[in-house]
Structures are given as structure tokens and as C-alpha cells.
């Protein structure tokens, strides 16, 4: 489904998920969606309509507490741990908004196939390598690792990543470079077949950058 979504719908979906509560409802304004997705307000509105047409969300008109007409977005299936993976810092920090469309498509593919690997992480003790140790003494070490790690590891084949993202070989190289530039990915210096998929970016945009974009899209 992800590969078949339009590029604008791909840009908007993680933004809506970022604002979704435990009931599957999201209340961001159109201007906020547009700014965080890196789109114009009109394009963001069209993208949300595509998500509705595909049966992912239901868009409802409502009146805010300030007496303004606005919309809410109800996901048909409440997102859980198996939902679209994208750490909120990339949305809130503005990194997502500046990615090119193909890079957004590929970012989600990398996140989907990335896994925590303390045995490969130079900053942690490789003794936490048993990912199934959720009980007993190992649980605290594993939880600490999950909370403190700055990246996961991905060694998915490029063809698999491209198929999931819905992009071609020529676009793939440019999308990779874009993801590296904006702190979504980094090559693993120890292993040529692994990528470090960042959980925390090395940089984010200043708060004023995204606030200015949101303000510019509100009216």
C-alpha cells in the first residue's frame, strides 16, 4: 500500500500519525500538516483526501473551542506498535519537511526494516544481544538500551527497499544522499552492507523555522 500511495499522501500520513491519540483521532490544522509535510496547504488537503479515498482515514468537519471551522482525522484502524514507523523528532524537528518526495518514500522503508542491534552498536555492551530476553535480569538492560540508543541497523537489500518505497534504481541513489544529508541515515563504518537508521537525528531545524512555516500556511 505504501508504494502505491501518491508522494504527497506519503508525506502527510506520518504527520497525521504523529498527532494521533490512542483512539485513532488526530486534530492538527491544515497549516500545521502542510508545514510538517513540506507541502502547500492545498496539496496537503488533496493528500488527506487521497488517504480518505483509500480507506485509511475519515475526515470530519468540526468547530474548535475558539469557534473556528476545522477538521479532524479518524483512522479506520487505530495505529499501534505495528503502525508506520517514524520517530516524532523527525516530524517535529522539521527534518521530514525538507526531504524530497522519493526520500520520504525511502525513509519509511528503511525504518520498517531497521532493528535494534546492541551486538553491532559500538556504544553498548554486546552482551545485550539476546533480543528475546524480555524477562528476568536481561529485561532492564534491554529496556535501557532501547531508551538510550541513537540508531538502529538495516541490511535490507536495495531492491527490497526500492520495491517497498515504490522508487526506481536511478531515484534510489539521490534519495539515499538526501536521507544522509538530513540525518535520517548514516553508513555503518564497520560494515559495508549495513546502514545506521537514526532514532535521534544529529541535527534538527530551529523551532522558529517550523513555526514560521506553520504561520505562513495558516491563512
The pLDDT tens digits for 164-209 are: 999 999 999 999 999 999 999 999 999 999 999 999 998 888 767 7
Together in a domain, 51 and 72: yes
Cα separation, 80 vs 204, whole angstroms: 26
| Residue 43 CA to its chain's centroid (Å) | 19
**pTM given for the model:** 0.87
Instruction: Give CA torsion, residues 74, 79, 85, 86, to 10 deg.
Output: 40
Cα separation, 26 vs 167, whole angstroms: 29
By the 8 A CB rule, do 7 and 101 touch? yes
Enter the C-alpha cell of residue 107: 525513509
Q: Number of folded domains in the chain?
A: 2
Please provide the distance, in angstroms rounded to a whole number, between the alpha carbons at the two ends of the chain. 33
Segments forming the whole domain that contains residue 175: 95-198
Read off the CATH number of the domain in which 63 is found.
1.10.10.10
Together in a domain, 132 and 187: yes
| Residue 206 included in any domain | no
| Residue 138 included in any domain | yes
More confident residue, 177 or 136: 177
Cα separation, 177 vs 198, whole angstroms: 14
Cα separation, 27 vs 37, whole angstroms: 15
More confident residue, 191 or 70: 191
Query: Which strand (E) or helix (H) includes residue 34?
Result: helix 30-37
Enter the C-alpha cell of residue 111: 525504518
Together in a domain, 64 and 112: no
Together in a domain, 103 and 39: no
Together in a domain, 113 and 164: yes
**In 67-109, beta strands by DSSP E:** 69-75
State the CB neighbour count (10 A cutoff) for residue 6. Answer: 16
Q: What is the pLDDT of residue 133?
A: 47
Cα separation, 149 vs 167, whole angstroms: 29
| Residue 42 included in any domain | yes
| Residue 207 included in any domain | no
Read off the CATH number of the domain in which 158 is found.
1.10.10
Cα separation, 191 vs 198, whole angstroms: 16
| Residue 69 included in any domain | yes
Together in a domain, 177 and 126: yes
**Tens of pLDDT along 11-32?**
999 999 999 998 999 999 999 9
Average confidence score pLDDT of the chain:
87
Amino acid at each position: 500500500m505504501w508504494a502505491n500511495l501518491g508522494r504527497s499522501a506519503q508525506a502527510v500520513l506520518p504527520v497525521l500519525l504523529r498527532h494521533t491519540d490512542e483512539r485513532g483521532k488526530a486534530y492538527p490544522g491544515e497549516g500545521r500538516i502542510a508545514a510538517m509535510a513540506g507541502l502547500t496547504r492545498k496539496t496537503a488537503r488533496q493528500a488527506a483526501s487521497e488517504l480518505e479515498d483509500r480507506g485509511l482515514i475519515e475526515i470530519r468537519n468540526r468547530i474548535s473551542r475558539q469557534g473556528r471551522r476545522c477538521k479532524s482525522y479518524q483512522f479506520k484502524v487505530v495505529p499501534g506498535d505495528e503502525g508506520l514507523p517514524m520517530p516524532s523528532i523527525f516530524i517535529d524537528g522539521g527534518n521530514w519537511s525538507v526531504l524530497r518526495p522519493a526520500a520520504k518514500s525511502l525513509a519509511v522503508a528503511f525504518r520498517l526494516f531497521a532493528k535494534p542491534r546492541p551486538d553491532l552498536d559500538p556504544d553498548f555492551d554486546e552482551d545485550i544481544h539476546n533480543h528475546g530476553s524480555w524477562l528476568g535480569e536481561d529485561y532492564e538492560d534491554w529496556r535501557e538500551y532501547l531508551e538510550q540508543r541513537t540508531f538502529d541497523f538495516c541490511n535490507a537489500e536495495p531492491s527490497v527497499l526500492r520495491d517497498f518505497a515504490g522508487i526506481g534504481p536511478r531515484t534510489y541513489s539521490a534519495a539515499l544522499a538526501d536521507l544522509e544529508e538530513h540525518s535520517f541515515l548514516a553508513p555503518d563504518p564497520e560494515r559495508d552492507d549495513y546502514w545506521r537508521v537514526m532514532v535521534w537525528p544529529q541535527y534538527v531545524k530551529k523551532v522558529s523555522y517550523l513555526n514560521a512555516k506553520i504561520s505562513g500556511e495558516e491563512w
